[in-house]
Amino acid sequence: MYIKRALESKIKYLSGHFPVVMVCGARQVGKTTLLKKFAESNSDIKYVTLDYPRVRQLAREDPELFLQQYSTPVIIDEIQYAPELLPYIKIKADETKEKGLYFLTGSQMFHMTDKVSESLAGRVGILSMYSMSRAEIEGRESRAFLPSDIRDVNSQDNITDIFSKILKGGMPGVVSDPDMNTEDFYGSYLQTYIERDIRNLVNIQNEGKFLRFISCLAARTGQEVNLDVISKDVEIDRKTADGWLSVLVSSGLVFLLNPYSGNTIKRIVKRPKMYFMDTGLACYLSMWNNSRALEISAMAGAMFETYVISEIIKGYVNNGIDVRSRLFYYRDNNGKEIDLLILDNGKLYPVEIKKSADPGKTALKNFSVLSSLPEETGEGAVLCMSSMVIPLDSMNRIVPIGCI
């Protein structure tokens, strides 16, 4: 069962303006399916995957012959296995001046986008892709969340249903198969990820320690990253922990939300906050298999926040917006924290995330710190389990999480 992805329109747009289109994202989030669906409208588009060792060998050892054999337009799947192709793709793109020649996918997001951007500067349109957003699953338009854009809505969400969604996650393999057991899926997913992605990037001598490391991260989703503590728990050195985290970020499995660092902020905490981009995987790794037990656990708040933040990130990414220059958090050494700051056209929009249905005005208590910043403060939102939009004051509102 194919579920329409929000990036379909962006693929069509970019293919009309660039000779190369690149879709990056974690394994099994639907990159290949997306491009094959796009190719249905153009029967001339061919498909080749570098997963096959002999095809990969040809691409790496004789990239010019490879590109002769697979003429344009063509989808080249898993381009990270043969970066040697990139300079030759650049030559081909420059020779023909046509658009929509090459469609590339890669399973290491930021690692590959940097490499592709350098090799194909001005010739490639790059899109990031994550697991399915709630909007995609429900067949709604995927929007970039901004508090000032919210209109009155009536939400039918209840906390039990939300935690069922959190436990299931958004991987297409789970969403499209109602009978799929999530533990079976994510167990297989992890094994494939380690064998086909991780070993290709780093030399893991102890697979058990890597699994402990990623599980420790999952148990700390929604928290500031403290690799000194995690490395001690896993019994690895700090350098190894830093490298492994970098790989997880590059693979698109986790996202690091950086602290806002305006020039006038003093005593700002420098560590980023870490969020898993698929709550189903985070639940599996932190050994939750019952949504009701998770809902009443000490981890409920962090997993709820992870769900909301990941949905907001997906909304921006699905509209082709680079979130690294848009989304931040605030926390200083006095313990004042704002869960999310959205920077849009010179304005900072504060967002708090609460699991309750009626958090009240106390949720706004730290918004006042923004008055010391040079940027203008925009409307604020408290995302929660409320059923409707409720004004808290002239600038801030309670907003149901169904709006994201």
pLDDT digits (tens, 9 = 90+) for 186-240: 999 988 887 777 766 666 667 788 899 999 999 999 999 999 999 999 999 999 9
Q: What is the pTM for the complete model shown?
A: 0.93
Q: How many whole angstroms separate alpha carbon 397 and alpha carbon 388?
A: 10
For the stretch 331-387, pLDDT in tens is 887 888 999 999 999 999 999 999 999 998 999 999 999 988 888 999 999 999 999
pLDDT of residue 356: 93
pLDDT in tens, 41-71: 887 899 999 989 999 999 999 999 999 999 9
Contact 348, 342 (CB under 8 A): yes
Q: Which amino acid is at 105?
A: T
Whole-number Å distance between alpha carbons of 108 and 130: 12
Separation between Cα atoms, residue 31 and residue 133, nearest integer Å: 14
Quote the CA–CA distance of 90 and 174 in Å, as a whole number: 37
37 vs 152: CA distance, rounded Å: 35
